[in-house]
Amino acid sequence: MDISLEIVSVAFFIGLLTWVLLDIMRRRRGGGSNRTCLIYRADRGCKVFALLTVLANALISTFYLGFVIYEYWVGGGIISCKSIFSGMTWVLATLVTVYSKNTIHSEQNRWPWVLIIWWIFSCSFYSLSLCLYLISHFRSLDLPDILPKANIVEFASFPLSVLLCFNAFRYAAQEKNDLKHPLLEKEDETPPQNTDTYTKAGIWSKATFQWLNPLFKRGRIQKLELPHIPHVPPSERAENASYVLDESLMKQKMEDSSLPKSIMRAIRRSLAINAVFAGANTAASYIGPFLITNFVNYLLEKNDNSSIHHGLILAFIFFIAKTLESLSQRQWYFGAHLIGVRVRAALTVLIYKKSISIKYSGPSNGKIINLINVDVERIGDFCWYINGIWLLPLQVFLALAILYRNLGAAPSAAALLSTVLVMVCNTPLANMQERLHSKIMEAKDSRIKVTSEILKSMRVLKLHSWEPTFLKKLLQLRETERHWLKRYLYTCSAVAFLFWASPTLVSVTTFGVCIILNTPLTVGTVLSALATFRILQEPIYNLPELISMITQTKVSIDRIQEFVKEDQMKLIPCHTSKVSDVMVVLDAGEYAWKTTEQDLKKPTIKVTEKIEIMKGSKVAVCGSVGSGKSSLLLSILGEIPKISGEGAKVYGTKAYVPQSAWIQTGTIRENVLFGKEMNKGCYEYVLEICALDHDVNTWADGDLTVVGERGMNLSGGEKQRIQLARAVYSDSDVYILDDPFSAVDAHTGTHLFKKCLLQHLSMKAVIYATHQLEFLEAADLVLVIKDGQIAESGKYEDLIADPNGELVRQMSAHKKSFDQVNTCRQDDSFNRRPHQVNLMEVLEEKEAINNGKLSGQGHEEEAETGRVKWRVYSTFVTSAYRGALVPVILLCQVFFQGLQMGSNYWMAWATEKEHKVSKERLMWVFGLLSAGSSIFILGRALFLSTIAIQTAQRLFLGMITSVFRAPISFFDSTPSSRILNRCSTDQSTVDMDIPYRLAGLAFALIQLISIIILMSQVAWQVFILFLGVLALSMWYQAYYITTARELARMVGIRKAPILHHFSESITGAGTLRCFNQGDRFLMKTMDLIDDYSRVAFHNYATMEWLSVRTNFLFNLVFFLLLIILVSLPRSAIDPSLAGLAATYGLNLNVLQAWVIWNMCNVENKMISVERILQFTHIPSEAPLVIEDCRPVPEWPVAGKIELENIHVQYNPALPTVLKGITCTFPGGKKIGVVGRTGSGKSTLIQALFRIVEPSGGQILIDGVDISKIGLQDLRSRLSIIPQDPILFQGTMRTNLDPLQQHSDQELWEVLNQCRLAEIVRQDQRLLDAPVAEDGENWSVGQRQLVCLARVLLKKRKILVLDEATASIDSATDILIQETIRKETSGCTVITVAHRIPTVIDNDLVLVLGEGKVLEYDSPTRLLEDSSSAFSKLVAEFLRRSSMSNCYRDPS
């Protein structure tokens, strides 16, 4: 038979050589040029299989060459012809494979047929040889000599030859398919939207994760985007997952503890399948320690004449067990992640449904975001731990069973007791970890809450120069968090020490009992026990972690269940009216916000008599600040809990315009349509009547211009008009408008009132609250609110006729302001017909048209591409102590590994040499080596924690300082959720994850290298194998990382839109409910969750794809090591060392997977560092203080402001906003700044505060050029009341005096001056009265008064009022203006206002238009010219206010 094989080998050798020569000749004739265009395309598709084929050929060639050398060495220079010819043919086959791979051009575009036939022949021959060998040894049959006899090379080459056959056909088929593809694939080509590659995959594809190959292929050739990622399986989609959970909850009927039961019911089938894989993995992992005794005994008993079949059978069992362990582990882990994806999706939808249906007084935005960010994530993660509940006792039982078999009852009992002791020691540490983790989370919650509030209010902080104070407050909160983090990480060091020292402790105890009881120890039993102890590490470590995870998950489930069980919002149904004309019925009743303190609870709104509102009626609601106007409207909408009475009934559909504008992120068109179909004609008409058409026509992208978060790049007037357009376009039956005219100027207010309310909505029921009392006359019914009650109701004419009525009192204040304006005009000016303003004059010009604040494109989050740069790694590693502790930690690991291996080898060697080593010496040496290794592991853990704490703090300080110093344009273009993501998720990863991942990679690499060295000591051939396998593993890792890296980046980016949508929906929940848009927003939430799920799902899967492949390669190395150990003669190996190598080899696949997983995971996690570092290099504002140019402490003394040829543009690429403004504001004077929206008023104020730096010209204050001094020196000497009144969560005291520089007496003085003292005294806590998030428990008008009080408290020489009294009634406005005049006498006051009475008595008025000075003079002189711009504004106010019966003497 050998002669026949030699002939066949020679024939194939000649055939291969002939093919190569013929092919080279054909190429020289030019035959190879015609298909070169296919090389890249085809090769790209088959790269993996081609490379595997080359490596398999090369490995088999190496086996044969090694076997020839071995034969020569053992046989005294004699080598068989069979080995020589087979080896030569395989070497040539390898060369032909390399040649074919690099020059694909044959007609069939496949491997050469001669090569394929050689592979098939070799595979068939090897399988026949192995089968005959097994039959002859198991059945003890004597087979004829003519049949082939297997040798060690054929055993080793058989798996590789099977791989070659598979790859040959797969490669050919792949190339045939490639020919059908277009030669130039479109890079933006995306898979069909509903693709789901996982569900369609077969069993083999799912087992080996081949269904991911198309994704890897795409990720290799282009940057992955969301459309490239296939969908998650239907069962994991948010809609299905939510439906199953809802169904499960319905069955449970919301009993106590029903949520965990409902979740279990919803996922029980998947959990059962997952449990099968977990059980199979655990069983397979214990086969190695169980059989290692048999293997070592076989090596000890083997002699040169004994058969190797028993050893080969053991090697096969090891290989099959390790392969089963790897495959089941991959399916177990992936299945757990899959269940986690489903649970997260279902719970997120559940929380969203609840959050948009609860009352206003429900949990805060921050709490709900925490539920999703922390609690839902934790419950999802628990799916990975859940099998540990039953696996842990099973693992301990199996370990004890192996120990009992090898060592007997007493040592097994000792092992059990020491294991329990370690677990008991670990439990208090785990409990401490849990407590400290809770403290960290509480501290983090506080920090994130404050960070969120600061980011929302950053413009105000910068204007007041408060950012250093608030940064200090934030750093104090971080310091608290760092205190708990430090304790937590040092506790983790103790846990890590116990984890690594536990096998040592258990082994010393067990072997000590064996020696005391004279239990016989052999090399096999010792190594089996050591392998078992190593596996026992897992349950010892996992028990406290499991207990901690169960506790944390229970807390999270309880939090979600408590939230879900809160009172559902009882929405007022849309009644179908029996009497078609009645649209709203407001019955007598009381309404009150929920409050935890019952003694403080009193009705917010009290309705004493029934009110009916008919179709086509216009109902005006007026009253002073805080009287309850908004609350009345909300009670009609059903947003305030009813505590008595019938309540309100609304017949038909409703539309609502809140006082604080709610604008969703998206285009202008999306905000106006708000889920309704587009009707072009109607849509354009709505834009026109809402004074938006001019803006839309001038924006670069028209109505497709994207609005930023909370409409931050829109002015107050624009937000209000977009809201109004949304309501008008909805074509509802009832309109509820909360002060829609306060944020717009006189022209626009008149236009909106006439065109919208009186004309377009003439047939609709409209209820509107207003401070502009000139809009009352047109109402059919006027409701006057005072102290939460309807003080008066009736027709305007009737109410104004009552001289003692509440309306007359309020109107007298309005008349006073009217007279104030009127007296400033000459008599003939007033008697003339008021100036008729045409439509184009009424329409507002948009400042953002010119300044580019409103860009046409949405700001997508910027993500780095390609590998994480080495600069990121070096910055991270050297952040703490310049990297000085890193070599120390690595040395600790090297010494630990060396001492641990040394102690294990000592036990194995000394047991074999029992007659030479006494039992006492055996244990002493073992104990000392083990103790030494434990000391080094403790040092490693402590040093690592020290580095982790320092690194995290330095990165945090760099980022947060950079963010606080960023210009306001950064906050306008960057959603706060993006910054918060870095401050929370990414910072948490840096705090508690990355240092340990990076160190874990280094430690695992040291372990792997030490095992390779150990194995190479036993059999040097393994080293060559390792080089090949490591090269292939690294190639796989490089192939994997291009796709995985982008997926990891997308996971971070896709979470933010969910949180942003949640936050936005909760803020606008009332609007959503009113417009019945809950379902549409729910669908959007589900889409966003699915987008996140598909990225997270494929991110998990890609890691398993890599692990399956690398696990198999290292299992193959382990298998070949065992075969080499079995094949080598007894004299060539040290059984103790060989047994030790086999023992460590049992962990090879786990360790290798850990190395590869860490390599990939470290890069994925380092993206968090990359994202933090992105925010440490934000271009900053000018310095806060310039020491060489500090103004004198008294500056400014006079308050004189000189503007010299000021030019401002928001961006060098955008048009100029202020175009050469030159004027002087004299010190101590009152200057009014007016002009239509978009004229540049706000930009002028921003330039004064250097929020935006002038591109030309200079501003001098008392002769000091403000561009030369520090920002803090400038802004702290000026005062401003900004347009948006911002309050911070806390108390009234902290809001009035954030820097805590004033006494209570001073605070009460300013409260009295601002007419707030009475309101504050109503709360028994006085100055410590709570202020809710965003000041929600105070009306908008009251918030503006608090902002005024802050400014009066500072007593600065220059005061700026930016629309400061827009939301205040006329009476309060007059009192406030008087207060300002009195308290700021001698100060320079710059007032930007829409209300003419606010500026009419100023010393000077500056009129701006399109960024230029139109007029600048005293109001009297400007009014003398009836054609002046200021005259036109005054005329419009008077025309609107001079109603014939409005001001007649009621007496």
Q: For 144-172, what is each residue's pLDDT tens digit?
A: 555 566 677 777 777 887 777 776 665 54
* 522 contact partners, CB below 8 Å, separation of at least 6: 293, 296, 297, 300, 911, 912
What does the pLDDT look like over 785-817, one tens digit per residue? 887 888 888 888 888 877 777 777 777 665 655
| Radius of gyration of the chain, Cα coordinates, nearest whole angstrom | 40
Output the pLDDT for position 843.
32
Q: Which residues pair with 789 in a beta bridge?
A: 606, 786
The residues, any chain, with a CB within 8 Å of residue 1136's CB and separated by 6 or more, are 523, 905, 908, 909, 911, 912
**Residue 1443, Cα to own-chain centre: how many angstroms?**
57
Mean pLDDT on 323-348: 88
Query: Residue 841 and residue 1433: Cα distance in Å, rounded?
Result: 10
Percent of the chain having pLDDT more than 70?
A: 82
CB-based burial of residue 256 (10 Å sphere; 0-12 exposed, 13-18 middle, 19+ buried)? exposed
Which tokens go with 561? 């269940």
Using the 8-state DSSP alphabet, how is residue 638 labeled? T
Looking at the DSSP assignment, which residues form a beta bridge with residue 645?
589
Burial-class residue 194 by CB neighbours within 10 Å (0-12, 13-18, 19+). exposed
| Backbone angle region of 691, left / alpha / beta, with phi > 0 → left and psi within -120 to 50 → alpha | left
- pLDDT tens digits for 907-931? 777 776 666 767 777 778 878 888 8
C-beta of residue 349 within 8 angstroms of C-beta of residue 1085: yes
Which residue is listed with tokens 């399109």? 1410
Report which secondary-structure segment, H or E, holds 1405.
Answer: strand 1404-1409
**Tokens standing for residue 1319:** 């309101």
DSSP secondary structure letter of residue 881: G
Residue 1202 dihedral angles phi and psi, to the nearest 5°: -115, 120
Lowest mean pLDDT among 869-878, 908-917, 982-991, 1074-1083: 908-917
Query: Which residues are registered as beta bridge partners of 585?
Result: 612, 649
pLDDT score, position 828:
38
Q: Distance (Å, rounded) from C-alpha 416 to C-alpha 396?
A: 8
Nearest to 377 by CA among 1320, 1216, 1058, 990: 1058
- 189 has a pLDDT exceeding 70: no
Identify which of 124, 99, 125, 126 has the alpha carbon closest to the alpha carbon of residue 112.
99
Identify the pLDDT of residue 632. 85
Spell out the SS3 assignment of 705-739: CEECHHHCCCCHHHHHHHHHHHHHHCCCCEEEEEC
Pairwise CA distance, residues 125 & 131, whole Å: 10
pLDDT for res 177: 45
pLDDT of residue 858: 44
What local confidence, expressed as pLDDT, does residue 1125 receive?
Answer: 78
- Among 131, 304, 178, which Cα is nearest to 1132's? 304
In angstroms, the CA 784 to CA 808 distance is 10
Output the pLDDT for position 35. Answer: 37
239-264 pLDDT per residue, tens: 888 888 888 877 766 555 577 888 88
Q: Per the structure block, which two tokens stand in for 725?
A: 């357009």
Give the pLDDT confidence score for residue 61 in this predicted structure: 81
Q: In this predicted model, what pLDDT tens digit does every residue of 460-507 receive, in sequence order?
A: 888 888 888 888 888 999 999 989 988 988 888 888 888 777 777 888
User: Contact at 8 Å (CB) between 724 and 690?
Assistant: yes
CA 1047, distance to chain mean position in Å, is 13
**Angstrom distances, CA of residue 936 to CA of 892, 905, 931, 940, 941:** 5, 19, 9, 6, 9
Nearest-angstrom CA–CA distance, 557 and 383: 13
Torsion of CA 77, 78, 82, 86, to 10 degrees: 0
Helix, strand, or coil here: 909? helix
Q: State pLDDT tens for residues 943-975.
A: 888 989 989 988 999 999 998 888 888 887 777
∠ Cα 148 64 88 (to 5°): 95
- The single-letter code of the amino acid at 503 is P
pLDDT band at 636 (very low <50, low <70, confident <90, very high): confident
DSSP state of 1409: E
SS3 label, residue 811? helix
Residue 191's pLDDT band (cuts 50, 70, 90): very low
803 prior amide bond cis, ω within 30 = no
Look up residue 1244 and give its two tokens.
């002028």
- pLDDT above 60 for 180: no
> What pLDDT, on the 0 to 100 scale, is given for residue 860?
52
Residue 110 has a pLDDT of 65
Q: Is the pLDDT at 846 greater than 60, yes or no? A: no
Q: How confident is the model at residue 847 (pLDDT cuts 50, 70, 90)?
A: very low
Q: Of the ranges 328-337, 697-706, 823-832, 881-890, which one carries the lowest mean pLDDT score? A: 823-832
What average pLDDT does the structure give for the chain? 77
> Each residue of 824-839: b (16+ CB within 10 Å) or e?
bbeeebbeeebbebee
Whole-angstrom CA distances from 370 to 446, 984, 985 are: 11, 11, 11
Helix (H) / strand (E) containing 786 = strand 781-786
Q: Where are the beta strands (DSSP E) in 787-932?
A: 789-794
pLDDT confidence of residue 162: 78
Closest Cα to residue 163, out of 1118, 1034, 1109? 1109
Give 1293-1332 pLDDT, tens digit per residue: 888 888 777 888 888 888 887 777 777 887 777 788 888 7
**pLDDT single digits (tens) 1089-1140:** 888 888 888 888 888 888 888 888 888 888 887 887 777 776 667 777 777 7
Quick: pLDDT tens for 968-995: 888 877 777 788 888 887 888 888 888 8
523: pLDDT strictly greater than 80: no
pLDDT tens-digit map of 1156-1171: 777 767 877 888 888 8
Task: Tell whether the model's pLDDT for residue 1369 goes beyond 80.
Answer: no
CA dihedral of 1181, 1182, 1185, 1191, whole degrees rounded to 10: -130
Question: By CB neighbour count within 10 A (0-12 exposed, 13-18 middle, 19+ buried), where does 1300 fall?
Answer: exposed
Judge whether residue 353 has pLDDT over 50.
yes
At 837 the pLDDT is 33
1242's tokens: 């706000």
Q: Which of 689, 844, 724 is nearest to 1237 (CA)?
A: 844
Instruction: Read off the pLDDT band of 571 (50, 70, 90).
Output: very low
- Per DSSP bridges, beta strands 648-651 and 582-586 are antiparallel
Length of the chain: 1451
Q: How far apart are CA 1308 and CA 559, in angstroms?
A: 41
Angle at 158 between CA 154 and CA 161, to 5 degrees: 120
